Amino acid sequence: MNNKNTHLSRKEAEELLNRYYDGLTSAEEETRLRQFLASEEADGGMFDADRAVMGMLLTRRQQQHAAGLPYFKIAGWAAAASIVIAIGLWPQPHQPECIAFIDGKQYTDQTLILEKMRSTMNTITSIDNAVGMETQMKTIFNPQE
Amino acid sequence: MKRFTLITIVWLMPLITVVAQSGLSIAPYFDGRYNKSKDVVSLNLKGSTLHPYHLMLYRSLTFKKSTPDIEHAILNDAKLAIDKETAHRDGRLLYGFYCLPPTSDKAPLRYIFYRRTANQTILAYLEGTATLDALKHMFK
């Protein structure tokens, strides 16, 4: 990284990130990396995980410096915590335990959805006599105890 | 290399949430494609809510008007069944209850329920520890 005072390209940022994870970057290089990750050029998903990891490490380092502990001593734990945080921050659809879409409208009322489930399963499993007269067939290959 | 490993882990974790029905022919019908459809009821439940029913996952689609051609997908998955109950009318599947084996030793049983009536067609996918007979009687 010779151009210390210029903006990082994506390729330069990738190289610098690899050095960062190896613990070889200087404070100045880390500052440039953080500036790059905060810029629009780092948008698009490719650097999201790096952004989360660096953010976590920086926070932990500041906390540990305040407490008088060396930075790299806690780097491993911080990296592990960063993974958890990054997973939590990763953009994905919100998936509550109960969710229903009825005629295109979303519902999350647990009581309503549970009642709908019971009603649906009742409809499925209520086999009337007429159906029973059809070519009903039960096949058991391996009975479940 | 450390960076690559870390990012790979972060990328792979969300995939864990979508493996529930992987490998089954009916899986694509539960990918959310009917969430905004009129005349379709999509129910998704998981977690402690289902514990009284000895279930871990419940998903169902109720088609009140036009029904996609899901019969072939069900019949394809039915080949895996270890227990089943079916009925046909006019050469078509009228209802089918299938119990599929777990995907691994510690995984739950999988169930596919299909029911076609004059007014609606229902496809349900469940995961849990109850037997097929127990499930059939549980909701009556």
Q: Which residues 12-41 of A have a C-beta within 8 angstroms of B?
A: 17-18, 20-22
What pLDDT was estimated at residue B16? Answer: 41
Contact call for residues A32 and A15 (beta carbons, < 8 A): no
Instruction: Please indicate, yes or no, if residue A72 is contained in any of the structural domains.
Output: yes
Cβ contact B35–A141 (<8 Å): no
Instruction: Please indicate, yes or no, if residue B1 is contained in any of the structural domains.
Output: no
Q: Kindly state whether residues A77 and A109 are assigned to the same domain.
A: no
Higher pLDDT, A65 or A15: A15
Contact call for residues B126 and B111 (beta carbons, < 8 A): yes
Mean residue pLDDT across chain B:
86
Instruction: Please indicate, yes or no, if residue A48 is contained in any of the structural domains.
Output: yes
Helix axis angle, A10-21 relative to B2-12, nearest 10°? Answer: 100
Widest distance between CA atoms in chain A: 84
Q: Kindly state whether residues A125 and A83 are assigned to the same domain.
A: no
Chain B residue nearest residue A22, CA to CA: B2
Which of the four pLDDT bands, split at 50, 70 and 90, describes residue A65?
low
What pLDDT was estimated at residue A114? Answer: 94
Contact call for residues B35 and B42 (beta carbons, < 8 A): yes
Higher pLDDT, B34 or A141: B34
Q: What residues in B contact A136, CB-CB < 8 Å?
A: 85-87
Structural domain for B51, as ranges = 21-138
Instruction: Please indicate, yes or no, if residue A44 is contained in any of the structural domains.
Output: yes
Q: Kindly state whether residues A80 and A109 are assigned to the same domain.
A: no
Q: Kindly state whether residues A84 and A121 are assigned to the same domain.
A: no
Instruction: Please indicate, yes or no, if residue A145 is contained in any of the structural domains.
Output: no
Instruction: Please indicate, yes or no, if residue B36 is contained in any of the structural domains.
Output: yes
Instruction: Please indicate, yes or no, if residue B104 is contained in any of the structural domains.
Output: yes
Q: Kindly state whether residues A49 and A108 are assigned to the same domain.
A: no
Instruction: Please indicate, yes or no, if residue A4 is contained in any of the structural domains.
Output: no
Q: Kindly state whether residues A47 and A73 are assigned to the same domain.
A: yes
Whole-number Å distance between alpha carbons of B34 and A53: 37
Instruction: Please indicate, yes or no, if residue A40 is contained in any of the structural domains.
Output: yes
DSSP secondary structure code for residue B100 in this structure: E
What pLDDT was estimated at residue A48? Answer: 78
Which segment of A39-43, A52-56, B37-41, B62-66 scores lowest on mean pLDDT? A52-56
Does B19 score more than 80 pLDDT?
A: no
Q: Kindly state whether residues A63 and A122 are assigned to the same domain.
A: no
CA–CA min distance B136, chain A (Å): 6
Q: Which pLDDT tens digit goes with each residue over A91-121?
A: 555 556 899 999 999 999 999 999 999 999 9
Q: Kindly state whether residues A124 and A55 are assigned to the same domain.
A: no
- Domain count within chain A: 2
Q: Kindly state whether residues A84 and A110 are assigned to the same domain.
A: no
Residue A59 is encoded by which pair of tokens?
A: 């926070």
Q: Which pLDDT tens digit goes with each residue over B41-63?
A: 999 999 999 999 999 999 999 99
Average pLDDT over residues B70-77: 94
Which of the four pLDDT bands, split at 50, 70 and 90, describes residue B28?
very high
Structural domain for A112, as ranges = 100-132
Higher pLDDT, A53 or A143: A53
Q: Kindly state whether residues A75 and A52 are assigned to the same domain.
A: yes
Instruction: Please indicate, yes or no, if residue B75 is contained in any of the structural domains.
Output: yes
- Check CB contact of A111 with chain B, cutoff 8 Å: no
Q: Which pLDDT tens digit goes with each residue over A20-48?
A: 887 888 888 888 888 888 887 787 777 87
What pLDDT was estimated at residue B3? Answer: 65
Cβ contact A97–B41 (<8 Å): no
CA–CA min distance B48, chain A (Å): 8
Instruction: Please indicate, yes or no, if residue A5 is contained in any of the structural domains.
Output: no
- Domain count within chain B: 1
Q: Kindly state whether residues A106 and A125 are assigned to the same domain.
A: yes
